Structure 1
Amino acid sequence: MSVALFVPCYVDQFYPDVAIATLELLERLGVDVVFPQGQTCCGQPMANTGCTEDARPVAKRNVAMFADYDAVVCPSGSCTSMVRNHYDQFFDSGDTAFQHVKSRTFELCEYLYDVLEVRKLDVRFPHRVSLHQSCHGLRELRLGPSSEVMTPRVDKMRSLLDMVADLEWSLPTRVDECCGFGGTFAVDEAELSASMGRDRIADHLSTGSEVIVSADMSCLMHMQGLIRREKNPTQVMHIAQVLVGRPIKELAKTE
């Protein structure tokens, strides 16, 4: 299979090691990965603020960029969901290139768990970890169970992290509460967004967590800003960084 790596724009600009860790992880698992050089934003920020016509050419460029690949893997639930659940408004139902990209775009954890069927990893991460489930990952991609729905689901993030040697869980009380980021919501409702973020961080800190881990760096970016400004004793890491065994001390020096 030819697998394209779809890197969110904020990861490319602010957290490039997340993209590098994703590449390393996939290649360790025998995946032949290609990084299309011309890729840009998926259009989600424009679409979320109601600027549909501004998002349309971005969506069309994105589909054209990835249409020739067997699969597209993205280390972000929100960007993956944008393609799978919100691109329909920009394309005709008979557009075969779009239908191919829509059906073959995967969030990293679901690609690892569902497509590659990874059930064992040779990696060690000797730290106390708390898990942050993103709203897009849970509510739109169904990567795990949601507290408001009784339907049983495999928690794909936790299942993958359970394969990591020496990882110790410190789970928050409210396991699927929003962090308050919400993309442009954090700009339009800054005080409410920050308050939600502080509540989320406090719940993680109450467990004695050393590292808050998520599959969405956007959520972690929001919480990391609050953590740094308020000098809280924890760090954030994307799940790809944990699954390749990045040392948290070395990571802290680069960010």
Structure 2
Amino acid sequence: MTKIDDAPSTTGGRPRVGLFVTCLVDLFRPGVGFAAVKLLEDAGCSVEVPEAQVCCGQPAYNSGDQGAARRIAKQVIEAFQGFDYVVGPSGSCMATVRKEYPAMFDGDVTWHARAVALAERSYELMSFLTDVMGMSAVTASFHGTATYHDSCSGLRTLGIKAQPRTLLATVEGLTLTELQDAETCCGFGGTFCVKYPEVSVRMVSDKVANIEMTAADTVLGGDLGCLMNIAGRLKRLGKPVRVYHAAEVLAGMAGPAGIGDPEKG
């Protein structure tokens, strides 16, 4: 991976980072985006949020609509041109940018080169903070016992496992307890939960049962889709477990309302 000492910068020694907000964060949990900005700035980055950014194109790509996926990818490539790095609080979205974009443009010399250039400087948030910026601790506090769910794309495609745990271990007042089958899918899977709702419900129910076994009062993770799925099932089953994106806790911005909770004054 590229280390920060080897990276170009156009902001007085600070890397210029374009934040890929993601659709779910923008529409359902904007606080995750604000938490990501705080963490990146604390790590020494200059952060910008391009207004021209759109969906990463993953739903279209996974559904076989290659034409739509490529059109969306081109918009993203254009929107993030010129940044030293592109960082997003989602292993799923960033795996699409890093791994799928180059494949989308095989045979197109110009756009393949641009897709590869973007992929090589794009990172999931936790990976970027630890592996690129060298962050090993935060100055946040959160009182509770939490368990962590590893999302499929971040884990299997980007190798994100130790990075969030390294940072969460430094949060004052937080106790981490490992979840049985933490690496097993929660059943969300993007369009999977729509196409196969019965299978999805069974998978997330198994996940909730494992969460109960930890006696944790909080569930953390790095992908909002998975967290919304888990939070929804917890709520339907009447389980009093809070759910947060790890960035919210690491930034000290985990408010009283967790994911799926009604907003509290």
Task: Give the TM-score normalised by the residue count of structure 2.
Answer: 0.88
Change (3 A) 1:177 1:39: same
Deviates more, 1:205-214 or 1:86-95: 86-95
- CA RMSD, aligned part only? 1.5
Who is 1:136 aligned against? 153
Task: For residue 30 of structure 1, report the CA deviation from its aligned partner.
Answer: 2.3
| Counterparts of residues 90-109 of structure 1 (less than 5 Å) | 90-91=104-105, 92=108, 95-109=112-126
Q: 1 CA distance for matches of 2:142 and 2:263?
A: 19
Mapped contact 1:64–1:97 kept (Cα < 8 A): no
Contact 1:60/1:90, CA 8 A, preserved across alignment: no
Alignment pair present for 1:60 and 2:74? yes
Q: Deviations over 1:132-157 (max 9, x none)?
A: 0001011100112xxxxxxxxxx111
1:20-169 residue pairs with structure 2 within 5 A? 20-91=34-105, 92=108, 95-144=112-161, 155-169=162-176
Q: 1:41 corresponds to which letter in structure 2?
A: C
Aligned match for 1:14, one of 21, 28, 37:
28
> How big is the shift at 1:253?
5.1
CA distance in 1, matches of 2:195, 2:257: 35
Is contact 1:210–1:234 with CA below 8 Å preserved after alignment? yes
Q: What SS does the corresponding residue of 2:87 show, helix, strand or coil?
A: strand
Give the letter for the 1:131 counterpart. Y
Structure 1 residues 24 and 254: CA distance shift in structure 2, 3 A: farther
Deviation at 1:126, TM superposition (A): 1.4
Measure, in 2, the Cα distance between the counterparts of 1:119 and 1:165.
Answer: 14
Give the match for residue 9 of structure 2: none
CA distance in 2 between partners of 1:2 and 1:216 (Å): 24
Once the two structures are TM-superposed, the CA of residue 231 in structure 1 deviates from its matched residue by: 1.3
Paired residues, number? 245
Report the Cα offset of residue 161 of structure 1.
0.8
Report the counterpart of residue 254 of structure 1 in structure 2: 263
Q: 2:190 aligns with which of 163, 183, 197?
A: 183
- How far off is 1:254 after superposition? 2.9
1:191-218 per-position Cα deviation (integer Å, ceiling 9, x unaligned) = 1001100100110111111111001111
Identity %: 37
Unaligned runs of 5+ in 2: 1-14
Which amino acid counterpart does residue 37 of structure 2 have in structure 1? L
Deviations 1:4-30 (A, max 9, x none): 000111110011111111112212222
Give 1:115 deviation, angstroms.
Answer: 0.7
Query: 1:138-179 CA deviation, whole Å, 9 max, x = no partner?
Result: 1100112xxxxxxxxxx1111111121221122212221110
Q: CA deviation at 1:120?
A: 2.1
Contact 2:187 2:199 in 1 (8 A): yes
Q: Distance in 1 between matches of 2:62 and 2:257?
A: 35
In structure 1, list runs of 5 or more residues that go unmatched. 145-154
State the one-letter code of the partner of 2:175.
E
Could you tell me which amino acid in structure 2 is paired with residue 101 of structure 1? L
The answer on whether the counterparts of 2:43 and 2:129 sit within 8 Å (CA) in structure 1 is no
Deviation at 1:247, TM superposition (A): 4.1
The residue type equivalent to 2:141 in the other structure is: R
